Amino acid sequence: MRHSWQALRIVVEALRPDGGGTDAAARRLGHAEWTAPLALANAHLVAPSVYANLLEAGRLGDLPKDVRDYLDLVHGCNGERNAALRRQALELIGGLRGAGVPLVLLKGAASLFLDHYRDPAERMLRDIDVLVPRRAAGQAFDVLRDLGYEAEIRYPPGHHAYADFTRPDDPGAVDLHFELVDPKYILPAGEIWQRARSASVDGHEFLVPSPTDLMLHHVLHAQIHYLGNFYRGVLDLRQLHEFATLTRHYGAAIDWPFIARRMAQYRLDVPLQSYALATERLLGLPWPLGKRPGIAAHLHYRRCVAQFHLPALAWLGIPWGNLRSSFAGHRLNALYGAEGRLLPKMARHAAQYLEKHKADAVIGRLFRVR
């Protein structure tokens, strides 16, 4: 546990402004074993961010030469990949716009063009997320086919996205969205279209979400949608770093009262507060919300830290987290109406799920980790 805490401290301090200051620099200079910090940075996809942040702070000299050279290599490779993803995204934008299909770039795809990160090689992307109107799905499919893409992974009906489209030799897939997240009622695509802003790069015009919608989408994806990290008590350093980066980049342009009200409306104020608390404690982000975190948020943050240092505890929490995510109040109210108590809704939901799925599917869902 001591070694995991040291590794976490080294990595998060490197992600803070100015590399965490003089005390953090002294700790890096005195740190002898770098295997664990590098493994942690790689596992959480922040190795390029560590390099970029220390470079900007003028603190790369705190690192041993072999560590510095390794991070330089990872950073450079990610920069080449991001440049290729940018070209791929521009080609896709041109094809969709040429066919009259409006589009909104989401998440990492938007960051390729919006300078959220001062260093274009900093953020690691998995794919290119694009939102198109459902009514234009056929046209979008035609464009992707004409560009040589094929649907590799089709999502089930009702999913927020249609499919991942891939093409040989491309660095990333195209994730075609009709909605932003599966609980689409929290942040419907219609609201994104209404508040989206125009952008133009190299003669290619497209839309990007407003700063507030960018942030709300990020929180929902990091905490609720993607594997239910809040329910499972997961600390994801890449997501936390992006939360801090977006907050610092947009400043007062983010309507935090709106985000807090929307999350509270669906009983998701604790996920928001715990997430902001983790970013404050680990990455030094000034508290962005008007209301300080309550006891539940503090307890959840402590659970996340404990599970981070004790992987066995995290594994034990997976079934409970998956259950909580599946039976979350906002999901049950969306399915069965907001009126009435949650317990009968939970029983109804469990009965319907067990009726539709075999035992192996139920067990697989309970212990799902990916």
The total number of structural domains in the chain stands at: 4
**Closest alpha carbon to 237 in 83, 123, 115, 71:** 123
The reported pLDDT for the residue numbered 366 is 61
Q: 55, exposed or middle or buried, with CB in 10 Å at 0-12, 13-18, 19+?
A: middle
Please report, for the domain that includes residue 128, its CATH number. 3.30.460.40
Share of the chain above pLDDT 90, in %: 75
Using DSSP, state whether 203 is helix, strand or coil. coil
Instruction: Count Cβ atoms below 10 Å from residue 233 Cβ, excluding itself.
Output: 24
309 and 288 in one domain?
yes
296 and 222 in one domain?
yes
Of 172, 189, 209, the residue that ends a domain is 209
Token pair for residue 76?
């450079």
What residue numbers bound the domain in which 181 lies?
Answer: 90-209
Residues in contact with 75: Cβ distance below 8 Å, sequence separation at least 6, in sequence order: 47, 48, 51, 52, 121, 122
Low-confidence ranges of the chain (pLDDT < 50): none
Q: 28-85, pLDDT tens digit by residue?
A: 999 989 999 999 999 999 999 999 999 999 999 999 999 999 999 999 999 999 999 9
d(CA 353, CA 118): 47
The reported pLDDT for the residue numbered 202 is 87
190 and 94 in one domain?
yes
171 and 114 in one domain?
yes
The reported pLDDT for the residue numbered 360 is 66
197 and 104 in one domain?
yes
Share of the chain above pLDDT 70, in %: 95
Answer yes or no: is 320 within a domain: no
331 and 232 in one domain?
no
Answer yes or no: is 81 within a domain: no
Residues in contact with 209: Cβ distance below 8 Å, sequence separation at least 6, in sequence order: 104, 106, 110, 192, 195, 196, 197, 217
241 and 254 in one domain?
yes
Answer yes or no: is 288 within a domain: yes
d(CA 304, CA 310): 10
202 and 100 in one domain?
yes
199 and 99 in one domain?
yes
Answer yes or no: is 73 within a domain: no
